[in-house]
Amino acid sequence: RNLILCFDGTAKYFNDGNTNVIRLFQGLDKMKTDNQLCYYQPGIGHNFFPLSLALLLFTYLLSPEGDKICLFGFSRGAYTARCLAGMLH
């Protein structure tokens, strides 16, 4: 299975001068729900609570070996992706 996580930069979200993270997320095939989970997190400042993402991720990680995790980010979202990659490694 594939877990694709996209993190946007500060104050960025859909229809706000779409970033490459949004464009990437829009281009993903989200209909492959049995093999692929796609997630988009808007930038800081949009009242998102990161614990819900952590719970989603660790629940998903309790799956068999061989799952792929792809992290993408823009600006502070890239930092978020890098921190998450460090925790997973």
Residue 45: what pLDDT?
63
Residue 18: what pLDDT?
82
Residue with tokens 């799956």: 63
Q: Which residues contact 55 (CB under 8 A, 6 or more apart)?
A: none
Q: Which residues of the chain fall short of a pLDDT of 70? A: 11-16, 32, 45-64
Residue 31: what pLDDT?
78
Residue 72: what pLDDT?
93
* Cα(3)–Cα(39) distance, integer angstroms: 8
* Cα(54)–Cα(60) distance, integer angstroms: 10
Backbone angles phi, psi at 20, to 5 degrees: -65, -25
pTM of the shown model: 0.77
Domain boundaries, the chain: 2-88
Is 9 within 8 Å of 76 (Cβ atoms)?
yes
